[in-house]
Structures are given as C-alpha cells and as structure tokens.
Amino acid sequence: MQWRDEGIILAIRKYGEYDAILDVLTRKHGRHSGIVKGGLGRRQRGNIQPGNEISVTWRGRLETHLGTYSVELKKARAVAFLYSPSKLAALNSCCSLLCVGLAENEAHELLLDGLLAFLDTLEVAEDNILNWGPLLVRWELGLLTELGFALNLDNCAATGVTDELIYVSPKSGRAVSQEAGAPYHDKMLKLPAYLTEDGQEVVMKDVKDGLKLTEFFMDRHMLNPYDKKITQARRMIMDYLV
C-alpha cells in the first residue's frame, strides 16, 4: 500500500542505530507513524524536527503496519524558534498535546489548519508571551472543541447573562457571572477577560488563568479517561509565566 500526504511532525523517536519513527499530523490520514530510514543521520536529521512542515509518502504491506516514510521538507518551522526558548516551548507543547490527545488515523484537518495558523503568528510575534499566550489558550480551547469537549463561555450557566463572566464551572464547563459565582468562588476556575471581551489588556496572570483552565479540562476529558497525564512539554510553558 502507498499514499502521499502533507502535515506537521509531532514527535521523533529513535529506532535502531540510525533510523527514526515519526509521528506526523497529516491532512487526510490524521496522526500517523512511520519509519524514516537513516532519519537520525546527518543528511536528514535537520529536516525531521518537531514542528517542521513536510510532505510524506507512506509505504507498507497493510494499513495497520508501521510502514516507512519518505520525507520532503516544505517549511523548516522549528529553526525559526531556536533563539526563543518560550516560543520553542509553545511549539513543543502543541505537538506533545496532539500526540497524546489524538487517536491514530483519524483526520483532523481543522486542528492542522489551526496549528499552522498559530505557528504563523508565533513566528512573527514579538518574543513576549503576552503577545501570543492568549492565542495559545484559544488554540487549546479549539483542541478541546475538535475532540468534542467544547466549553460554553458565551453566557452564565446560572442566569443566562452575558456580562461580568469571570468564572467557569469545573462541573459543566460553562461560564458563570461574578454575582452567581460569588458563593462558590473558591471552587470556580478563573475565566480571563480576553476570552469573552475584545480589546482587553492582558497581564501574565490572565495567561496563567487561561492555561490552568484548559489544562483542567484536558486532564478531565482528554487524558485521565485514558490513563494519560499532561505532558512535560505542556508543563514547561508555565516556567515562562513569571
């Protein structure tokens, strides 16, 4: 069997002495793995870094087999972040979440397009997490939505009002207004204003609250039911929120 597709490298693992196994988020075949012969050799090593945009040809006897990849580099995205540790951490976080969150061979074109859009913005953004942190939170919300676990942040779960939404219910994943949530404020998750209002000035605490919000629901819906944990790459993002 053989097919050709395009996508982004999510992870690379050593296989034997010089070969590598790539996890790739492809457009038509979803998250898919394959062996790259000589992938850890000097000639190919720079092309098969997580975050790089590639075209691949997969060959195997059966669709269920691991098979082999032939790789053609389309855009070396990883190299753009080599001198920005926080941006590189964001790239690695996104790739790691897709590795653990997506089932194999299920197409998710919206997630691929969303990741490409985020990386385009990340590449040109100033090297300050306040400039792109809110977009990372929105991307993670999009990941939850694509997997069927969308949060409802449009109106208050208790009263239906659309203003003063400052909490999220950990039970329902719905927004809660300041007044309705006051008696339970110590049990609520914080809802950053930039997720409900435009033009809000963002401070570091807002980014932290957004990442804590998405991590809570990724743990609950995407990871814990399958005995998985939040990835180390995702946790490292918090090291830059100072």
CATH, residue 63: 2.40.50.140
Quick one: 29 and 140 in the same domain?
no
Q: In the chain, how many domains are there?
A: 2
Residue 172 falls inside a structural domain:
no
Residue 184 falls inside a structural domain:
no
Quick one: 231 and 202 in the same domain?
yes
Per-residue pLDDT tens digits for 169-224: 999 999 999 999 999 999 999 999 999 986 678 999 999 999 999 999 999 999 99
Per-residue pLDDT tens digits for 32-73: 999 999 888 888 877 889 999 999 999 988 777 788 999 999
The domain boundary, picked from 76, 103, 135, lies at: 76
Quick one: 127 and 26 in the same domain?
no
Cα angle 161-165-166, degrees, rounded to a multiple of 5: 155
Quick one: 72 and 86 in the same domain?
no
pTM: 0.93
The domain boundary, picked from 76, 99, 134, lies at: 76
The domain boundary, picked from 20, 48, 76, lies at: 76
Domain with 218, as residue range(s), is: 82-153+191-240
